[in-house]
Structure formats: C-alpha cells, structure tokens
Amino acid sequence: MTARICALVCLAAATASAAVSRDAPSAFQFTFRPLASRVAKNLRHTLPRHFAIQEAATAEKTSTGFLDRIFTKSGSGVTEDEAAAIEAEVGMPHPGETPYKGFVSPVEVKTVRDEWVAAVESLDPEKIVALYSADAALPGALLGTVDTVEIGARQCRTSILEYFKVFCNKAAIKPAFPPEVTMDDLIQLDKGSVAYNGYYDFYFTEKDGRQLKAHAKFTYVYRRNPQTGKLEIALHNSGLTPQGLVELESPEKPITPAEVKEARDAWIAAVRTLDPDTVVAQYSADASLPGNLLGTVDTMETKRRQSPSTIREYFVGFLNKEKIKPAFPPEVTQADIIPVGPGMVAYNGYYDFYFWEHDGRHLKAHAKFTYIYRRNPETGKLEIVLHNSGLTPQGVIELPRPEKVSIKEVETARDNWVAAVKSLNPEKVASLYSADATLPGALLGTVDTMATGARKSGETILDYFKSFLDKEKIQPCFPEAISDDDLIQLDNGMVAYNGYYEFLFWNKDASHTKAHAKFTYVFKRNPAKNNQLEIVLHNSGLTPEGVIELPSPNKVSAAEVETARDQWIAAVQSLNPDTVVGLYSNDASLPGNLLGTVDTGSIGARQTGETILDYFKSFLDRKQIKPEFPPKVTDEDLIQLGNGKVAYNGYYDFLFWEKDGSEKRAHAKFTYLYRRNPESGKLEIVLHNSGLTPEGVVMLKEPTVQTS
C-alpha cells in the first residue's frame, strides 16, 4: 500500500515539479494544477489518514474538499493521459466503483447508515437486525441506547432482535443523524473496516400519543462482508447524553391560559408597533386552515377576510394612527377560554382601544372579541385562525384632551411617596401605585434583579416593600426642587419624572449605608381620586457608585481599630512615653485604664495619665521594642459594645532589645477597649489589659559579659 502511494506521489511530483521537504520527510508539499476530478476524489480514499498533508494557502476547491489540502493553482499542468497513467499505477477505481483495496468511503457509510434509518422507521425488528453481521467469527454486537450494565453487550442476532422488538414498540420513530458523513467522522481501522462516530437524536411517538426526544451519541463499526462486498454492522454502541430523554409538547395537549396570554400579548405588541406585517404574522398562513378576520371597523359589505393579503389590507387602514393602545383584561383565566377541538381554543371577552389620531384627537373604542387559536404542529406556538371583533353599544367616543400635569402635582405625589417610605409602612407605600386593571402600577425595584422582572401587581409590589422597608430608619433624598426639565409630558394626564436620588439606611445590624440611584416615575391622574397622581411605573436602579457603608456612631469598623492599633505600635517603637500615653483617653468621665503586661496585682489598674506615664517610662527603657500583632483586624476580632465603643482582643508578642545586650521575646494576650471621641471622631483607649501567656518571656540572647 505504502509503496503504491509513494509511487503516486513520486510520479505526480515529477510531473508537477513539486518540492518535497528533506527537513520534514513526513510532510509533503505539492504544487499542482487540478487533476481530473475522479483522481482527486479517489486520492482522498487512497491516502491513509496518518500521512500529515501540509495545507496549501491557495487551495483549489473540489466537491470532496480533498484538493484543499494538497493542490495549489501553481505548477505544471497534468494532462488527462498522465492522470490515467497515475490511476493505472495505483489501481484507482472510477467513480461509483469499490474504493481502492477495500478502504471504506463516506458515501458507503452514508448508504448503510440510511438503510438503518429506514429500517428503524419501518418499525420492523427483523429488517433492522438483518443489517448487523451474522458472521460467527465476528458477529454484530449491540450496546443499546436503553440497555444497562446488567444486560451487557448483545452479541448475537437473537438478543439484538429482542432489543429492537422492545425499542420499536412505538407508534413512530424518527432517527435524526447529521445530514452528511465526512472523512472527519470516520476512523479507518483496517482495509474494509471503519468506525463512524457522532451524535444523533431519536423522536419517539408513543402509543399513548406522547412525543419524546432522546439525545444520544453513537459509534458504529462497519466491516465489508467479503462475500457481498457490502458494509454490515460489527459493533453499535449507543448511549444517552446528559440531556437524556425529554418529553415534547403534543398538538393534542390542552392549551393553557398562559399560552393564550402569551399569544394575545404578542398580538398587542404587534399592534402597538403600527406595522401591518408584524400583525398579520400572528394569523395562520396554513392553506388548509388560514386566518380569518372580522375586523372591528369592517362592515357586512366587507365580508370576512380570509387571506394574509386581505387581513393586511385591513391593518394598513386600522393602524394608520399616531399611536394605538389595546387594553385587554390583565389576566387570562380558564373561564375565558373554550376548547373547540384538538389543539384549538376560543378566547372571548371585552377590550378597549385607545387611538391617538394624526389630527390630535384622542378616541376610545369599546369592543368585544373572540379569538380562535390553534397550536401550530411544527412550531408548537399558537396562531390565530379566527378573530372576530365588534363594537359594543358604547362604540367609539372622543376623549377630552387632558391638561398638562403641573410641577406642583408631581411634587405632592413625590413627597407623599417619601413620607410613606419614612413611615416604614409597606401598605402605605404600595397604596400609591395604580390599582387600575387596565394600567396597573409596575415596579422595577432598586434591589430587584433581571430574574425578578417587573412587579405588576399590588401584591408583588407589597412584597418588595416589606423587604425594602425592614430597617430601623430610611431617609430618601430627592433634589429639592422639580423643574420642567425633570418632566416629560405624556398623553392622557400622564407625566414621567426622572432624575437621581439617594437613600440613607439605618440597618437593624447597626450599620449605616447610603445607596446612590437613578429613577423614573410615570404618574397618571386618577379621576376616581379627585385627579390625584398615582404611580403607573417606578423604575429605580443603582448608579455605579452603588451602596456604600457609612461610619456609624453606634458601630466601630475593623479599619478604624486597625488604624488606632497601628498608631499605638508606632508610638511604642518610638520609645517615647508621652507619645504612647497620648493614645489613652484623658476624659475625666471615662479615663484610660491600663493593666500592664509586667504589672502585678499589688499595683492594680493604672487609671490616670500620670500612672500610665510612669508605666511606659519603665516599659520603654530599652534599646528597641517591636510589638507583633496579627497583620489584619477583622470583624471576628471585635466585640461591638454600642455607642461608639468596641473591644479588640487577641494575642501579641514583644521583641525586646535590652541595653545590656540581651534579646527577649514576650508572649502575651490583650484586650483594648476603644471608644470614639465625640469631638475628634477618632478612637482612643479607655482600657488596655495585657497579660503574659504561660510561655511568658523567653531569652533569645544572653547579656553581653563586660571584661576588665
């Protein structure tokens, strides 16, 4: 085999003056004009996969793609006679003949694979089993998709038949492989044997009507039967992927109110775009069951519109407005829908349309509707097969043009909201949001996430404020004055108020935080409440500054303690007693106290600046001192005592370099009680208790002996 291929390479190289790299003998570089197409195709099946073929930068495209790897447009021409000579030398077949020396082509694999697909779709177990090898020396083996380890490999046609009798016990099965088989999908194992690997799906229709989809991966090992020359399955390993088996929606499955609401809301959104094509796309285009429309403003002369073109004609006129707002009931319930057949439902009720005309008029149409939806069997989504819309006796009325919302009205509504928030009463805050079914209040809260979504009911808004107001105190901070620049006048007595605000929070854990945020409130007048403004939209989002923690008079932070501690370390290292004593409280009502490391019970607590100074004059009488505390102060090291006081506890060492030349290490434990000085805001020591641990003082270096 190798010799024949080398002969091919050498002959082609000689013909085309190709250069073969001496530095990389396993990598061949060719420069050819295209050979005859059949040479190119068969060459792909001739060269074993382990040859490393270096890619050409300017590849000549062929149907097999193989010339992409080895041919460029430069070099000498190869004639048909020369190509035929090459074929004769290596024994290449003509297209359609058995590949050279029994190597298996993608075309052969696709053929036998598709036979397996057809056999499975036939639901005939015997037809499937006939595709597996019956050779006693190498019988077909199956590790089935739904087999388990207890069953093991099925290695005879009898056990494979048993498998497919169960597997095919369905109303229908459709295997779904990748559409093509390529060389990259194959591993040539030997002459006449190949492994085909990949992923496939199975669509099952069960006898009870359920539809399932199995996600799986496969390996087929095919070998060519020496008697027939055809491929047969020597091994079939099929296993589920992590996606496994999922149940699909059946067109017979009852349509839910949620599905109807989704389809209805899609129609509303399409109408509000004022684009006729977007609206028409909501109606069935199935020739066997097309969408029908009896439009709100159609007459008996118009008759029913039964095609996309006539429905579009209707909406071209209907949508010729500045703005349209359909107003349906907010929810769809089971009582609103009537099943009218498999995968079909009728949705009935009343709705209003608000029209903003090009001439400035504002109209309201009162109407009743019936939509008949059917589930599209291909997409699974609902589409309209009948839409009947007719005016009620109230008909179309012209609405008065509302006056502009004043700054004073917005200030009053905003201040009412601030007062309700400061009361920490969730019900009082939620009552300021619209409860109108046609335009309910919506909230996108400051601390809500995308997963939460917009809160569009009084109940969900109340839930938000129950959590948001769970504080000791809240102070919203809006800009003091509202100007016309802060407002966007909308239609129908509505206004948008935009800007930035802050919240000061006094939290129940004694922390004090500040949130920086931006806001939009959309207010509308409520005629039932003497035209007072109520909130129909409140969107509040943090700015990049976000939420920050503020110093609290009731809580001392770890950072504050660390600063005060490091000042004490620096003062001790200075060996200046006055500098150290300056860190202890001199307040007569709460003076600093010291129980020093080397003090005894007879001395007692030092409670005056003078006695503390005496201690440090002695303690610091050394060549050098180095206190060693833990590197960081954490909240776990602190005990909050309230009212700006905190206890800091732990262990530390002192390294002493004595004047007599000795060096010592003292192991000790400490408690510092700090309080925040109300005038300076800085921490000072009101108690310092330091005592040796059992390890005590360790001599590191003996005193220097003086010699005379």
User: For the range 487-491, what are the long-range contacts, defined as Cβ-Cβ under 8 Å and sequence gap of 24 or more?
Assistant: 487/405, 487/407, 487/410, 489/404, 489/405, 490/522, 491/323, 491/356, 491/362, 491/402
Same domain, yes or no: 90 and 215: no
**pLDDT tens, position by position, 475-493:** 999 998 999 999 999 877 8
* pLDDT at position 276: 97
Q: Which of 30-34, 483-487, 514-518, 694-698 has the lowest mean pLDDT?
A: 30-34
Cα 649 to chain centroid distance, Å, stands at 44
Query: What is the count of structural domains for the chain?
Result: 5
The DSSP symbol for 100 reads: G
- Boundary of a domain, candidates 77, 97, 117: 97
The DSSP symbol for 76 reads: -
Is residue 260 domain-resident? no
**pLDDT tens, position by position, 409-468:** 999 999 999 999 999 999 999 999 999 887 899 999 998 888 888 899 999 999 999 999
Q: What phi and psi values does residue 287 have, to the nearest 5 degrees? A: -60, -30
Residue 248 has pLDDT above 80, yes or no: no
The mean pLDDT of the chain is: 84
* pLDDT at position 574: 97
**pLDDT tens, position by position, 307-317:** 999 999 999 99
**pLDDT tens, position by position, 115-136:** 999 999 999 999 999 999 998 8
Same domain, yes or no: 62 and 133: no
| Of 281 and 598, the one with more pLDDT | 281
Q: Is 620 exposed, middle or buried (0-12, 13-18, 19+ CB in 10 A)?
A: middle
Is residue 537 domain-resident? yes
Is residue 268 domain-resident? no
Percent of the chain having pLDDT more than 90? 63
653: pLDDT confidence band, cut at 50, 70 and 90?
A: very high
35: pLDDT confidence band, cut at 50, 70 and 90?
A: very low
Is residue 210 domain-resident? yes
Residue 84 has pLDDT above 70, yes or no: no
Is residue 254 domain-resident? no
Same domain, yes or no: 545 and 423: yes
Closest CA to 354 of 296, 397, 404, 316: 397
Range of the domain at 82: 2-97
Closest CA to 313 of 332, 328, 298: 298
**pLDDT tens, position by position, 186-236:** 999 888 899 999 999 998 989 988 888 899 999 999 999 988 989 999 999
Same domain, yes or no: 367 and 459: no
* pLDDT at position 126: 97
Same domain, yes or no: 578 and 681: yes
| Euclidean distance between CA atoms 163 and 151, whole angstroms | 11
* pLDDT at position 46: 37
- Boundary of a domain, candidates 37, 63, 97: 97
* pLDDT at position 51: 29
Same domain, yes or no: 224 and 348: no
**pLDDT tens, position by position, 578-622:** 999 999 999 888 899 999 988 887 888 899 999 999 999 999 999
* Dihedral of alpha carbons 625, 630, 631, 633, sign: negative
Residue showing tokens 């060693």: 628
Judge contact between 145 and 219, C-beta under 8 A: no
| Euclidean distance between CA atoms 194 and 205, whole angstroms | 32
Residue showing tokens 């060549």: 623
Is residue 661 domain-resident? yes
- Boundary of a domain, candidates 380, 398, 416: 398
Judge contact between 398 and 363, C-beta under 8 A: yes
* pLDDT at position 68: 32
174: pLDDT confidence band, cut at 50, 70 and 90?
A: very high
Orientation of helix 2-16 relative to helix 80-90, angle to 10°: 160
Q: Which two tokens stand for residue 622?
A: 């050394």
Same domain, yes or no: 391 and 417: no
Same domain, yes or no: 294 and 381: yes
Residue 538 has pLDDT above 60, yes or no: yes
Q: Which residues of 86-105 are buried (b: 16+ CB within 10 A; e: fewer)?
A: bbeebebeeeeeebbeebbb
Same domain, yes or no: 615 and 635: yes
| Euclidean distance between CA atoms 597 and 667, whole angstroms | 10
| Euclidean distance between CA atoms 131 and 125, whole angstroms | 10
Q: Is 467 exposed, middle or buried (0-12, 13-18, 19+ CB in 10 A)?
A: exposed
| Euclidean distance between CA atoms 348 and 374, whole angstroms | 15
What is the SS3 assignment for 371?
strand
Is residue 114 domain-resident? yes
Closest CA to 76 of 18, 35, 16, 29: 16
Same domain, yes or no: 414 and 483: yes
* Sequential DSSP letters for 614-674: HHHHHHT-SSEEEEE--S---GGGEEEEETTEEEEEEEEEEEEE-TTS-EEEEEEEEEEEE
What residues are paired with 698 via a beta bridge? 665
633: pLDDT confidence band, cut at 50, 70 and 90?
A: very high
* pLDDT at position 86: 43
Same domain, yes or no: 46 and 120: no
553: pLDDT confidence band, cut at 50, 70 and 90?
A: low
CATH code, domain with 585: 3.10.450.50
Residue 27 has pLDDT above 80, yes or no: no
Residue 92 has pLDDT above 70, yes or no: no
| Of 10 and 96, the one with more pLDDT | 96
Closest CA to 293 of 270, 284, 316: 284
| Euclidean distance between CA atoms 343 and 116, whole angstroms | 34
Is residue 271 domain-resident? no
Same domain, yes or no: 625 and 532: no
